[in-house]
Amino acid sequence: MKKWTCLVCSSTTWAAKWDQSKKAEDMESAFADTDDEFFEWLDPRTRRAIEELRKPARVPTDSGMSIRGCIEAMELKGVCLASSWPYDIGKVNSKPTEDCFKQALRYKVVEKELVQKDTNVMRKKLSEGHPIIFGLKLFERFLSPSRGGFIPTPDEGEKEAAEHGKHAMLLVGYNDRKQVFIVRNSWGKSWGEKGYCYLNYDYVANPKFNMGPLYIIKALGAEEADLTPDPDDGEDPDLEDDRADQTLELEEVEEEEAPAEEEEDGFDFSAEFTGDKLVRDFFLAHDGKLNQCEFVHCLKIHSKTEAGKNFSWFPAQLSVYKSDQTVWTPEDFDEVVKKWSE
């Protein structure tokens, strides 16, 4: 991977520094539109950062998370380093060590910023030292990049990738000479150019393909996190499309089975509990007692479901914030939902 800066030249990247400071390679998998958050999921590596919110033993299905939901989870729980819990899809349902959870608290997101979906704005943020988390609609061609890591902009009518139709990655730089962004993927070093690829400006910045929110993480809790740009080595990427007629066969990997029986919860849900499985699991992960912010979070989740289509989330969350109550239970959830549903 080549490393660029753009303070005095035309392109920039932070591949090495970002890789060392936090789990850049772990920002992968499906993302949802901004109006459909919490129902598309990121991959198991990011999921480990929010394991307390969705215990793998209770929810054995790995199906991704929204980018916004992931950022919020990292603000709450942080994320451990890749070296502390290496990626192993066979352990998607395994709970990381306590040391991982302790380490994650040091890497909480303490400052973030939404980024406009505009090439000039994105280049400016990268030049200032801020890699950009983004989601992209993928096509089958994406599964087989050229040997130099280049993936062309999809043609009209090109078939969308069935396995990874929507995918979150990390912009780590750009090259004005070639009009491409430099992207860090999370499919291992055998993919692309040692885990990186090059995408045209008109692919990444096009709302037709880039459908989700873009974020930069401006500050982490860890003092040693260093996002200083690497110097430009003066080289340009090889953009020859030498694999246009090839496809990549994805290897099937078996995941370990989740425990057959759940542990004792310590509390019971009523038979009429209105929350869906995600809300239920949120309560389970917190022993049935949520603080004000967490409770509003669950109300928002409910408002996105079919059962919550008549639920007035905005006035409901205002009523919660006006309350002096500090602990919220499943019974409170039912009561609030009932009160603010038509």
Class assignment of domain 11-220? Answer: alpha beta
Calculate mean pLDDT across residues 240-250. Answer: 54
Instruction: Name the residue with higher pLDDT: 36 or 247.
Output: 247
Extents of the domains making up the chain: 11-220, 277-339
Locate all alpha helices (DSSP H) within 94-228, ordered by sequence: 98-104, 119-127, 201-204
Check whether 19 has a pLDDT greater than 50.
no
Residue indicated by tokens 């007035």: 312
Q: Are 175 and 11 in contact (CB under 8 A)?
A: yes
- The pLDDT tens digits of the residues spanning 167-207 come to 889 999 999 999 999 999 887 787 888 889 999 999 999 98
More confident residue, 181 or 231: 181
pLDDT in the model for residue 61? 54
pLDDT, residue 99, reads 95
pLDDT at residue 51 in the model: 52
User: What pLDDT is recorded for position 192?
Assistant: 87
**The pLDDT of residue 225:** 61
**pLDDT tops 50 at residue 232:** yes
Q: Give the pLDDT confidence of 110-143 residue by residue, as tens digits.
A: 889 999 999 999 999 999 889 999 999 888 778 7
What is the pLDDT, as a whole number, of residue 125?
93
pLDDT exceeds cutoff 80 at 247 = no
pLDDT beyond 50 at 9: no
pLDDT band at 163 (very low <50, low <70, confident <90, very high): low
Which pLDDT value is given to residue 158?
Answer: 74
Q: In the structure, what pLDDT confidence band is assigned to residue 245 with cuts at 50, 70 and 90?
A: low
Q: pLDDT tens digits for 44-89?
A: 444 454 454 444 444 445 566 788 888 888 888 898 888 898 877 6
CB contact at 8 A, 339 and 279: no
Least confident of 37-41, 187-191, 330-334: 37-41
Pairwise CA distance, residues 92 & 104, whole Å: 18
Query: Of the candidates 245, 88, 252, 288, which has an alpha carbon nearest to the alpha carbon of residue 163?
Result: 252
Report yes or no: 111 and 224 within 8 Å, Cβ to Cβ: no
Is the pLDDT confidence value at 261 over 50? no
pLDDT(333) > 60: yes
pLDDT 10s digits, 64-73: 678 888 888 8
| pLDDT for position 262 | 40
User: In whole numbers, what is the pLDDT of the chain averaged over residues?
Assistant: 73
Task: Give the helix/strand (H/E) hosting 110.
Answer: strand 109-115
pLDDT of 220 over the 50 cut: yes
More confident residue, 94 or 240: 94
Tell me which H or E stretch contains 184: strand 180-184
CA–CA distance, 256 with 275 (Å, rounded to integer):
28
From CA 128, how far away is CA 179, in angstroms rounded? 18
| 274-323 confidence digits (pLDDT tens) | 777 778 877 887 778 888 878 888 888 888 888 888 888 778 888 887 88
